[in-house]
Structure 1
Amino acid sequence: MTSDFLEEDEWIQTVDCYFRNDYRERGKIKWNGFFLSDHTAKMQQDSQLHENQERASWLEKQPLTLIREQVLLASQYGWRLRLQENTVDANRQIPLPIVGVVTDFFDGGFYLGESKVEWANIRFAEVQRGQH
């Protein structure tokens, strides 16, 4: 080793001295900017969802035959389907209508995109003609 470099024990002492006396960990201060922006975005998203939930109302209850016709029509032409399920969440909020494309069927219902929808849980279904 050349004389330009410290020996291992000298290097360790230098680093140890630096961390004991000179280094200042900023701790939480360093991360506040990240947490604040993420927290603000989450609060805005929650606020928007809450606002939408308060404006949500029940759409007309349709007979199952009409619902099935609408779903089959949307599936046949690849049109988007707007539907509302007949369930409430844990806070007893009315669900917002969801929109998607019927992708497949199963014994008890169908898939709207990747979401599984059962016939028994649908309150309202409406084809959005010409919208893919």
Structure 2
Amino acid sequence: MNNKDYDPNLVNQFLKYDYHDRGMMKWQGFFLSDHTANINKTSREQEEMNRRQHGPAMEQEEVAEIINQAIVKSKHVQVELSEQTIDGIVQKPTSGLIQGWVGQQIFIGDQSVMIEDIWTIKVI
């Protein structure tokens, strides 16, 4: 279309009588890629949470032995805590290098963990 074909009366007639803008209704059926990615991520996280279950619990002597090994050899550990939600969902394991300890509390990265709350611990 070039400028000599332009008829402002025709445009006004179309907008006034023929065109009906549905407003937000036209967008309600569309998912943007950001929304789809967010939905998929949330779904994966929920599925992962539902799959997490406690394995067999370790004795306190075993836990202390692995903590000592990890500290002496500067190894990373993965700690599964005994806590779970009301729905029975187990928390995501904490992992990292043991930075130190005070009494019955160890520090893994920037988190503190009570030794009696440890369900299992393993060197990774």
TM-score by length of 2: 0.64
Match runs of 1:40-79 below 5 Å: 40-79=36-75
Pick the aligned partner of 1:117 from 102, 108, 113: 113
Pick the aligned partner of 1:88 from 84, 88, 92: 84
Aligned mates of 1:45, 1:65 — CA distance in 2: 39
Q: Unpaired runs of 5+ in structure 2? A: 1-31
Cα shift readout 1:77-120 (whole Å, capped 9, x = no counterpart): 11110121000135431223332110111112101111110011
CA distance 1:64–1:46, shift in 2 (3 Å): same
Q: Which amino acid aligns with 2:68?
A: L
Q: Which amino acid aligns with 2:103?
A: D
CA distance 1:116–1:59, shift in 2 (3 Å): same
Q: Unpaired runs of 5+ in structure 1? A: 1-35
Q: Which segment drifts farther, 38-47 or 105-114?
A: 38-47
Aligned mates of 1:119, 1:69 — CA distance in 2: 12
Residue 39 of structure 1: how far off its partner (Å): 5.2
Q: CA RMSD in A?
A: 2.3
CA distance 1:90–1:75, shift in 2 (3 Å): same
Aligned mates of 1:90, 1:113 — CA distance in 2: 27
Residue 37 of structure 1: how far off its partner (Å): 6.4
TM-score by length of 1: 0.61
Aligned to 2:93: 97
Q: Please state whether the residue corresponding to 1:100 is helix, strand or coil.
A: strand
Cα shift readout 1:39-64 (whole Å, capped 9, x = no counterpart): 55543432222111111111220111
CA distance 1:47–1:61, shift in 2 (3 Å): same
Q: Which amino acid aligns with 1:125?
A: I
Which consecutive segments of 4 or more residues in structure 1 shift more than 4 A? 36-42
